[in-house]
Each structure stands twice: as C-alpha cells, then as structure tokens.
Structure 1
C-alpha cells in the first residue's frame, strides 16, 4: 500500500460513516434533502446545468510514472494532467474532507469474476453519492479478496459542489485518475455518471495487462447459455436491447471477456429515461416503479422533469435529453445473478446512424468486424455530453473511446483473438434513423430492433439470403422475420434515392478518412479492402 492510500484510509477510518445499509443511505439522503421522494417510490435529484452529462474536456489521466508508456496520448480523449497539478487538486479535496465532521465511505468492487475483481472505495461528503455507488458497484465477496488485482484498488474522492481555488488549475470541475497510484478525484461535478465511468476507465487500463478484454457493452443470456454482447455508445440501445423478458440480463453497459467467458464489471444499471414508457421498455420501467416501502427501492432518478406532487414526466426533456436512473441489477425481473456468462455466440455493434443511410442490420466477416470495432461509427446523442444538443456523427473507437486509454492495437488484438477462437458471429444493428437523416427521417422503431435481435440470437438470420452492399461492403439480409423488406434496404426508404446515394457516399468518404488516421498501424493493410468507399 502506498503512502497516499494510507492517508486516505486514515481519513476513512477516522471520519467515515461506513454505509453498508441501503436503508440508511436512503433515509439520510432524504433527511439531508439531497434526494426527493417521487410518487413511484424512487428518489430524484436535479444537478446544475453544467453537470447533466459527461464533460470530456474536464476529464483527465495523470501523466508520468509507469503508465506513461501504456496510455495512448495521441488519442484526443486521453487528456493529460501532470502529477503536480493533480496533487494540488487532491490536497484541496483531502483537506476539505478532513475538515468535515463525517464523510461517507462505501467499499465495493468492480468485476463479477472474483479472480480478477478490482476493489473500489468511494469517499464523499454526499450520502446520495454513496447510494449511487451502492447502486452501481458490486458487493465485496470473500472470494474477491484473493483476486489477482486486489492490490490495484481504486479510491475515488467525490465532492460534487467543490470549489478548488487551486492556482495550478483554472476551474472547479476536475475528473482525473492516477492509474499508477489508484486514486481518482471528482471535483465540482454533480453528474454521478462520471464516477462509474472513472471506475470503468481504470478497469479498462488494468484488465488488458492480464490478457482480459474490457468492452463498452451490454450482455444477456439465452436459456441454453448462449450469450450475446451489445456494444455501443450511450443512447444507442445497450440497456434497452439487453433487457429482454426471454433472456436474463448479465449487465447493461460494461463487461470483460477472458478465457473463462464474459463477466459484468458493474452491479447496477444507469439507464436513459428520455421518452421512456412502460409499454416499450417494461423491464426498466418496473425496475424503479416498485411496490413496498421507498427504503426498499433506492433507485436514483437524475435530471428528469417532476411536478410538485412527485410525478415524473419522461416526455419532457427540457432539463436534458440525458435524464438517467441508477438502480441495482437485482431490480430487473430477469437477471443472471452470477454476473457471468460463457463465450458469446454473437456480438452486436449498435450504431445510431444520424445520416439514415445504414441498413437496420448487416452481417460482418472477421476483417469487417475489426474495422467497425476499430472505427466505432455511431452518433453522439443529445445530452450525453454537456455540449451535445442534437445527434452528431462520430467515430469512437471500440464504441467507447473516452474509456479506452490504451493504444488501439491492445484492444483490437484481444478482440480479434476472441472472436476467431470462439467463432463468434458479428452483426451491425442500426438503431438510428431511417427514411432520411436526423430531422427528416424517423428513429428506428424499437420493435424493429428487437425483431432483428431475436433473429440474430435464434439463428434465423443464418438461414436467409444476403446481398453485398457495394458501398459499405458488408452483407445485408434480404429478409428478416418481423421486419419489412423495404426497411431492410435503406435506399428504398428515402423519398429521393439519388439524395440517399449522395449522403451515403459522403459517409463512406468519412470512413476512408478516419481509417487513414490508423495508416501507421499493422492492422491498416488487412482491413483497408473492407473499408466503405463511395460508388
């Protein structure tokens, strides 16, 4: 244990209210008016305007030390912070915590696989943060105490309302992680999702050192043990599509793939609420609309519109498109309790194509799977980041670039090895727009996406005819049970096919330019032939 951890442990031991009881966390959050009780029994909070989504510009990784050679500093998402600045921010936060009468301390772990679980400790001045950590992270087990990564503990200090007054840093909001010393700080940021994403990024740094592939994905399992992964950026449907009444969910956002199979890194869900309805997403709806006392609920709703009677309106997105709810996975009715599954039969890349030119489903061969995994084409959806107000096309490597600190080769080699060794089929599913781009076309109906997923996991898409898309190079099914043949060919859904061709060619050009940024890497030559190109 390093000296910094000893100091933080002393702080936790002397000041900490070690909250293992959800009931106490709920009661104290309400008593302190950090959270309000809603009519459905969940708890609610509204963050300041600047804290209703991730803030990539305020998110840093500490440079120097052993991790310096492993972090991909050329990636625009890996913002460096020198150690002296980090230490100044850290000292400011520790002193404030030390000045308080009590702090909240929550000890949990990252990873359902005991042999590689990572301990995580959250120290904060807010009881609601402690409840969020309890919702999202996994309970410590006796078996996890012998984990190979037990000495990689992450301690996260969280002061959502902190004012830094640190000369070395010009603002109040800092989300920074020191990979070498296992310490993270969340200062001046009241978006609780920053806490879980910090833990995910930390795990994504350490797991590849042990030959384990971390992924930004949901996962579920069939009755015969067949496992499916859903990779995608926030808002593309990971939670919605991995929640299925016929297939137990393993997790909705963060998993890892090792020689034993896959496992969930989290213990909870952090689901988007914009336009949520009981009819279309009953699993998520019932997860926080629960019978019994509110002290048995503990779901936290963030930044959703609520009236004076505690009635929530998810159709009203005037606060943000990124309203969220956190709750333990156990709140879902159909859960794989172990948090683990076998090697996946299918991997599904979810892309919210704001251009409206991709088909609702396509099948990828091995090289195409590597290309789409590497480039991670999708759209950032409104509200998921603080400056995103409308869908914006983007390339986010591995469908989670902000959380993947290593070089591309590290994750790509692991992914290639796994899908080849376990003969995993890979599909692309467009949950974005059809019939035109955003503002003209319509968002793909969830019923269509579910029909496609059912055809994938049942094997029915292996029995249909395919055509080769000359522009995007992948294979598109001519028919799919439960899906109109017209929808399967996006060109047919546009009023003017020639306009479709123009927009599709522009997107294909973007792929070419994006792939060129990887031209110096070994993988470039092998996947160049399957890169989309105008026609």
Structure 2
C-alpha cells in the first residue's frame, strides 16, 4: 500500500512538499481556509458533526499480525476488516489524484530522538499542515539513532471529503437516522498508514498519531501516557494524567515549572519525553488572569505570517474580535500553537524520571475529595479505572457532564491489552519511588447543577503542595467509601473543603450520592477486570468493595 501511495504522489501534478510555515499560513488565508483575528491568529470553524472527536467512526484494522495485542473488548477499539480498509485507502488515493494541490510535510512524533517516529502527513488543506507544523516535531539531525529509524508512518487527512454512503453501507456504522456514516478515522498499525476521512476536527490527526505511539512504544519498553509534564527548578519532574477537560493543559502551565508538554508523553528507561511540538488547549471561558500563559500564547499580537496559532470553533466577529465565552456553536473551542509561544518551557521537552504523578478527575457527583494521597495499590486501582466525567463538547453529542470510566485516563487512545500498560506503570513507580496523588478538579458542595466547580486557585495550591512535598508531614483521614487518604490541611486551601462531606448542606444526601458512585466503581471494575486475576490488594481499594 505504501508503494501505491508513493506512486500516487509521484504522479500528481502539484505536490507542495515541506513548505515554510509562513507560506502555509498565507495559503490558508488566501484559500479562505481561515480568517484573521484582530491579533493575527487564524480562526476557523468545522461542520457541526466535527466539533469534537468521532469515537464511533474511529477504527483499528484487525490484522492477524497485531490483533492479539489489542483489547477488542474496549468500546473504543472498533475493528475494521482489511478489505474495508483497502476500499478506504483506494478512495483516498482517488481523491488525492483529483485534488488541484496536495501538501506534504515530514515531521516526527517524539522529543527523544531515540524513540522518535517519522511521519509524513498528506492532505489538501494548507491549514491542516499549519496544524501539523504546530503539533508535530521537526525531524532531528540524529533521527538515525531512533529505534524507528528504518520505519515511517503515513497520515492521510481529507477533512472536507466524505465517504460514499452507498459504497460503505454495511461496512461502517449506521447513524441513528439509519444512514451510513460518511466519516472514517482509521489506523493500520501493521501497514503504518492512518486515514482521516471526513473529520474536520483537527484533533483527529493528533489523536490518531497518539494512538499509534501508544501501540508501538510498549513493545519497545516505553510507557506511553495521556498526560502533561513539567519540571521544577531543581530538576524534579511531574506527570499530570487526565482526560480532555480535566485541567492537564491549565495546571501544567505553571510559572514556577518549565513545561515539557500538555498532552502526550512517553516514560522510557532514560526518563520522560513529550511526543509533540505544541499544545491544543480548550479555550472556552478562558481568562487572562486565570491562564495567562495559554492566553498570551494564543492572543499575542503578531504579523499573521509569524503567528499561526489556530483558533478552532470560537465565536469570532467580523472585525476579528473573539468571544471565548460564547458556546452557542460548541463548548469545545480549541487553539493549537507551538510550545515556543510559551515563555516557560524546557526546550528539549525531556526530563528525568517523575518524582510525582497527579491523576486528574473532574467529578460531576461532587463527592470525590479535592486531593488524596494514593498508596501503590490505590494508584494502580485509580489508573485502571480512570474515573472522570465527560465534559461538554469534548466529544460530538456530549452536551453536559456524564460519569465515565476511561482506563489509564485515556482509554480511546490506549489500544493494547490493559495489563500491558498497568504492569509497566507499576514497575516504573516501584523502581523510581514516585509519589501519586488524586486531584479532583470537578464539583464541590453538590453534584453538577447544584454544587460549584472547585476554584482553580485552590486546585493550583493543592498541586503545588503535592509537587513540593508540603503534604509529607500533615495528618490524613480516611474516606471509607472511596478508600482515600485526605489531608487535614493544605497551605492556601480552606480546610473545610478538603473533606467533601463538609461542603454539602445535607450530609445524608452526600453519603447516598457517594455510595451511588462507589457502586458504579464496583460494577465497572467487575465488568472490566473481574476475570483478570488482579492482586487482592488492588481489588480491596476499589470503592464499593
């Protein structure tokens, strides 16, 4: 297939290869793929069915070579037979051949050259390649030392084209109205080809490549994680794990710590490294006083050819003014920008083994403590469960928070069998004496709709305390429902909010709600891991048991 793709590109009459960033930005504007905002950034909008990922239209090719490595019981690992993939690939080549212009770029995924994967992105939109330039890394001079030196992945992105519904009837999913879906995001790990067909959400490209790395790296001794990472002045590094909307990007942008990256990292025998070259931040309700680094990265003024931040699906008025508080189109407005737009970064995007890991959850029930210190068994349990709430807009069709369990805080992007990731994390935690905390960035004083979101300044204070070891000498009390250890005090945080029962007007109602959620944990655990023969010490830490 790759040879067919290379032949198709060779025969095309107008291939624009590795164009300079300024040229791609100019073409995106000239071709009306984006508008200019008042500060010089690029603004764009996607169709209403592409304002978030399309998990039900995301597939993995089920090949004999790799199928035993993949957890097909996961609802996010939807198999596609090789014959259907061949049809999608065939149609992609025909579509490429009809395009007036095709843009290609050569980048890598992975800041550590030892583990960097080369990727060639092929698409018909200059704006897509600006996104790639923001998010994927330049090819390093020492790429030949990579464990993937002899391999290359090919990513085809056709965001505005659609599958022929008649051709694919019975081969891809049917929509609720009975029509065949015309969107397809599919990856073939063995042939090293990914195709984004019909999804204009730019995150589809980056998440496809994240999934690719999450499949390849464990077999090379590297644990991939859906997390942000930063480093203190003394070289102490930290990982922050959490699904979209739980605060990874916000909390990792700490003025006292250098940012490695905000979403995707690997933990090798040498330390940690970022996969990406940029950030893809949620922009809804952003305020410069709350998130100054992110706001300045997107909203600084510059000549548009030197800017290149892409603001996706926000309200932009005809004069170029932006209203990040208007969510009528979607609450999942996003902005992509290079890490270099931030002041406080570590340029290498690499660090030593993490001293601290933070699991982030946005609890819509309002019953999880704002901060808890986890034992090894508790950490493994919460890593396996990955409890949070889907927040409005992070997926198409999600308009309000929903309680969910996403193993490893990134189930949609973690295709391998769960024991592969869990065992690697446990081994690395033991080997490097890593402390783990659970941070709830969600609700307090009641469930969603009654309670309120925990104040960001308090969450930042708790994160600071965890990273600086300020909780090592405080007393803890046990929350018996969730088997969690709650600190009785934390610097710059009102003590009364640390134990969530104290924030509810009706404590009996809190207890009922907590037990309701604990039962959901127990039920989900039994369904997902009941036959896995896990350590009894881990099982005993599951809420509801």
TM bin, normalised by shorter chain, reads over 0.9
1:143 equivalent in structure 2: 142
* 8 Å contact kept, 1:273–1:325: yes
1:324 equivalent in structure 2: 334
Deviation at 1:151, TM superposition (A): 3.5
Q: Measure the CA separation in 2 of the matches of 1:295 and 1:235.
A: 30
Secondary structure class of the residue paired with 1:461: coil
* 8 Å contact kept, 1:154–1:199: no
Q: Measure the CA separation in 2 of the matches of 1:183 and 1:251.
A: 25
Secondary structure class of the residue paired with 1:501: helix
Secondary structure class of the residue paired with 1:74: coil
1:496 equivalent in structure 2: 506
Q: Measure the CA separation in 2 of the matches of 1:415 and 1:37.
A: 44
Please say which of residues 26-35 and 146-155 is displaced more in the overlay. 146-155
2:121 equivalent in structure 1: 122
Q: Measure the CA separation in 2 of the matches of 1:6 and 1:448.
A: 55
2:480 equivalent in structure 1: 470
Deviation at 1:57, TM superposition (A): 0.3
Deviation at 1:161, TM superposition (A): 1.3
Residue 205 (structure 1) aligned to one of 207, 211, 215: 215
1:74 equivalent in structure 2: 73
Q: Does 1:484 align with 2:494?
A: yes
Shift in CA distance, 14/289, structure 1 to aligned 2, threshold 3 Å: farther
* 8 Å contact kept, 2:383–2:408: yes
2:517 equivalent in structure 1: 507
2:177 equivalent in structure 1: none
Deviation at 1:520, TM superposition (A): 1.0
Q: Does 1:343 align with 2:340?
A: no
Give the unaligned 5+ runs of structure 1.
none
* 8 Å contact kept, 1:362–1:429: yes
Deviations 1:384-431 (A, max 9, x none): 000110011100000000000001100000000011100000000000
Residue 541 (structure 2) aligned to one of 519, 522, 530: 530
Q: Measure the CA separation in 1 of the matches of 2:108 and 2:388.
A: 31
Q: Measure the CA separation in 2 of the matches of 1:17 and 1:10.
A: 15
Deviation at 1:128, TM superposition (A): 0.5
* 8 Å contact kept, 2:217–2:224: yes
1:176 equivalent in structure 2: 186
Deviation at 1:11, TM superposition (A): 3.4
Please say which of residues 186-195 and 510-519 is displaced more in the overlay. 510-519
* 8 Å contact kept, 2:163–2:184: no
Secondary structure class of the residue paired with 1:177: strand
Residue 5 (structure 2) aligned to one of 3, 8, 18: 8
* 8 Å contact kept, 1:487–1:493: yes
Secondary structure class of the residue paired with 1:150: coil
Secondary structure class of the residue paired with 1:296: coil
* 8 Å contact kept, 1:515–1:524: no
Q: Measure the CA separation in 1 of the matches of 2:19 and 2:344.
A: 25
* 8 Å contact kept, 1:154–1:183: yes
Deviation at 1:523, TM superposition (A): 1.9
* 8 Å contact kept, 2:39–2:302: no
1:107 equivalent in structure 2: 106
Please say which of residues 496-505 and 94-103 is displaced more in the overlay. 94-103
1:420 equivalent in structure 2: 430
Please say which of residues 168-177 and 268-277 is displaced more in the overlay. 168-177
Relative to the length of structure 2, the TM-score reads: 0.96
* 8 Å contact kept, 1:12–1:105: no
Deviation at 1:82, TM superposition (A): 0.5
Give the unaligned 5+ runs of structure 2.
173-179
Q: Measure the CA separation in 1 of the matches of 2:472 and 2:419.
A: 30
Q: Measure the CA separation in 1 of the matches of 2:326 and 2:144.
A: 45
Q: Does 1:22 align with 2:21?
A: yes
Q: Measure the CA separation in 2 of the matches of 1:485 and 1:163.
A: 54
* 8 Å contact kept, 1:12–1:123: no
- 1:39-54 correspondence runs (5 A): 39-54=38-53
Secondary structure class of the residue paired with 1:462: coil
Deviations 1:455-493 (A, max 9, x none): 111110112111111111121000000100111011010
Q: Measure the CA separation in 2 of the matches of 1:533 and 1:362.
A: 17
Q: Does 1:451 align with 2:446?
A: no
Relative to the length of structure 1, the TM-score reads: 0.98
Deviations 1:249-272 (A, max 9, x none): 000000010100000011110000
Deviation at 1:13, TM superposition (A): 4.3
Deviation at 1:524, TM superposition (A): 5.0
Deviations 1:227-267 (A, max 9, x none): 01100000000000000111010000000101000000111
2:404 equivalent in structure 1: 394
Deviation at 1:444, TM superposition (A): 1.0
Q: Does 1:278 align with 2:275?
A: no
1:519 equivalent in structure 2: 530
Secondary structure class of the residue paired with 2:140: coil
Deviations 1:30-65 (A, max 9, x none): 000001000121101011100000111000000023
Q: Measure the CA separation in 2 of the matches of 1:9 and 1:245.
A: 45
Q: Does 1:84 align with 2:83?
A: yes
Deviation at 1:371, TM superposition (A): 0.1
* 8 Å contact kept, 2:235–2:352: yes
* 8 Å contact kept, 2:242–2:409: yes
